[in-house]
Each structure stands twice: as structure tokens, then as C-alpha cells.
Chains A and B, each alone.
Chain A
Amino acid sequence: MRRRTVLKSTGAVGAIVGVAGCLGSGGFGDSNPNVILEEPDREFESSDVPYPAWGEQIPDVSLSVPTESREIRLGDIETPTLLTFFYSHCQTVCPVLIATLRNVQSHAQNNGYADAVTFLPMTFDPARDTAERLGEYADEMNVDADSDNWQFLRPASKQRAKDVIQDQFGVVFQRTEPEDMDMYMFTHTALTLLVNADGFVERAYRSKSPDEETIIADLKTVRNA
């Protein structure tokens, strides 16, 4: 129902864009029948970036939930979802990304919408991010990992991590061996995705410290659509 309405108005928006010339992305204008949020203010098209961006569908892949010994297929998720990409030994960017999701999870719990959102942080370090390790990490980050809405995802192997996270999600990660550390680390893209219940990206937050209030507000619009 709603989609049809959006589709109808697309024509009008497209026409206005046509007249105005260079507003937004040209072509179909700034509406997309698959998403609820308007096109973000940005200077590129979704197709220009390596990761799934506004209006694009995320890959429908299956990944294991190591803490529960089962698999999740992303296409089966029926709520809006927040996805991010991390490794638990990370000391700089990832804890901020995970803490941001954790704060949104807390907001969801405190405000009665815990079952209307899913959090899927995906590790690209399957070698070290075992079920046990991820359990400890959840405790350390004060995540409610017992809640159904939070699932750490883990590609089964290094190769699978590369295939899914790098090739399909466009999140580049590169192993490094810092001189002052006795373990390997990664440099990687910082990306958090807000995906609607149909698997389309509503927002791709390309920030090392995504704004929590913005995510909560965007999520609210998507949830209430």
C-alpha cells in the first residue's frame, strides 16, 4: 500500500528535479520506492560507492551466529536492522561503532521497541572472534547479547569474510602488524548500515563515530513507516 503511494509521488518529484536540473541524483529524482527515508544529502550516487548505500539491497547471505551455533540468513530478518563491521581486538574505531549500537540497543530497551529492531555486528576476524571471545566482548561492551535482537555474525573462514564483507558489503579490511603490538590488527572501513525490513539500505553511516541521535531518529522513521 505504502509503496504504491511513494511510487505515485515519485513521478512528481522526478518532474521537479527535471526542471530544476541538478538537484539530487537526476534520473529518478530523490525518491525510491524501496526505502522510507529520503535520499541523504551527499555528493555521490549509491552506485558510486563500494558498499550498499541508500536504496540498494544488502546481499542476502547466510552467516553463522557463533554464540548460538546457528545460521542467520539476512533476507529472513523481518525488522529494521543495524549492521556494522568490526573485530573484537580492535582498540580504536570498532569499540566506538559497537558502543554506538549498544547505546541504540539500550535506547530500544528503555523505550519499548527492543523487538522492532535487530543489531548485527559482523566480525571480519573469524580466527580470533570465537563464540567465547564474542561472549566476553559483549560483557565488556555491556551489550545485552542474550536479547534476541543482538546477534554477532561470523563468516566461517577468512576467505568467507573476504567474500562477504569485502566483496559483497564493500567493507575493506587489511591485516596489519603494528610494531608496538604483539598481535595483528586491521585497518578497515568504518561503516554502519540502517537497513529496512525488506533489506534495503536506508542509511549508510560512513563515520568512525556515527551520531547516535541521528541513528535513533532515522530508525524511528523507518520503524514507524
Chain B
Amino acid sequence: MTGLGLTGGSLWVAKNGLSGIRPRETEQLPVRVETLDAHGSSAGETRVPTPGTVTVIDLFATWCAPCDDQLEILNAMQPEYTDVSFVSVTNERPSETLTKADISEWWNRNGGAWPVGLDPGSELLAALGAEGLPYIAIADESGTVQFGHSGLAGKETLRDELDALV
């Protein structure tokens, strides 16, 4: 278990290449996701991407080690981008072996101060065309996805993308 995923992000990128900047067809967006009661998040529903603002969409899973690293990066950046909406979503389907409370707990340990949501049918994952985790998408104010990235996305890459949009 230990060491799993230490190089996962870079390995993923090495194998699959950088997806880079590629505006996508966003017909399937926005997607409504159920949000959890957790740090920075309250139980309810949210629209992804957030209407009217630039949105950083972070797709993660509790089993995905590089996803922790991705959240660490996002956490460090978020205070600089107060006008940007952040949302993290997992496609793990809550069940007895992984309850909503388990996901909230995981979020409280690893997550940021923003809404965390559930995508149990992988609808958002499919809409974004995400092929691996972590996956970061950035949508502009009109909700059009301007950037998609499989594997760990670095601070500078994200900063470049965000600075161009806000």
C-alpha cells in the first residue's frame, strides 16, 4: 500500500501524454451533483461547472494516491483565486464499504475548503472525457471547458490556465 501512486501522476502522463489545452464540446454539461456535508461543503446539490464563474473541477477517488497530491496543489492555490469556484467530485458509488460519511471523512483529511460532490454514475467523468484520475478541468465563465488534464496537474500549468481566464 505504501508508495502506491507516488509516481502515479507522472507515470500516467508518461503513458498517456498530456492532454493540454483542448476546449471540449460541453453539451453534456452542466451536470448536477449531490454534495456532501464535509469541510467547506454542505449536503445538497450543486451545478458543475458553477454558473457565471470560472470553475476548477477536480475529479478524484479516495483510492487514488496522486489525487491527494492534486488536492494539496489546489489547496495551496485556492486562496489566490478568490473569484474562481472550486469543486471536487468523486465517481465512487457510496455503499456499505464506502459510505458517504467515509467520503466526507476522507475529504476532511485531504480535501480543500470547497464543495465535494458525488458522481455515482460517472456522468461528469464521461461529460469531461476524463480517462484517468486525478483529472482537472477548467471551465470559463460561460461554462465552456477550456482545459482538461489527466494525471497530476502542476501549479504552474494551472496558474497559466487560470490567469488566462480570470
Contact = CB atoms under 8 A, between A and B. Distances in A.
B126 A109 contact: no
B92 interface: yes
B63 A178 contact: no
Interface string B1-43: 1001101101110011000000000000000000000000000
Contacts of A92: 8, 11-12, 15-16, 132
19 contacts: A89-B4, A91-B5, A91-B7, A91-B8, A91-B11, A91-B65, A96-B132, A99-B61, A103-B120, A106-B92, A106-B93, A107-B120, A140-B4, A142-B63, A142-B98, A178-B7, A178-B11, A209-B130, A213-B122
B94 interface: yes
Given A106-B97, A178-B11, A212-B122, A99 B92 contact: yes
A144 interface: yes
Given A180-B10, A212-B121, A109 B63 contact: no
Contact of B95 (A99, A144, A211, A212): A144
Contacts of A136: 1
A91 B66 CA distance: 9
Q: Is the interface of B mostly helix, strand, loop or mixed?
A: loop
Q: How large is the interface on B (under 10, 10 to 19, 20 to 34, 35 or more residues)?
A: 20 to 34
Contacts of A96: 132-133
* Among A96, A137, A178, A213, residue most surrounded by chain B Cβ atoms (within 10 Å): A96
A170 B122 CA distance: 28
Nearest to A142: B98
Interface of A: 89, 91-92, 95-96, 99, 102-103, 105-107, 109-110, 136-137, 140-144, 178, 180-181, 208-209, 211-213
Given A106-B97, A142-B98, A95 B91 contact: no
Contacts of B61: 95, 99
B161 interface: no
A150 to B, nearest CB: 10
B63 A144 contact: no
A209 B12 CA distance: 13
B62 interface: yes
B96 interface: yes
Interface of B: 1, 4-5, 7-8, 10-12, 15-16, 61-65, 91-98, 102, 120-123, 125-126, 130-133
A140 B65 CA distance: 10
A208 B132 contact: yes
A49 to B, nearest CB: 21
B67 to A, nearest CB: 11
B1 A140 contact: yes
A213 B121 CA distance: 6
Contact of A211 (B7, B62, B126): B126
Contacts of A110: 93, 95
A142 to B, nearest CB: 4
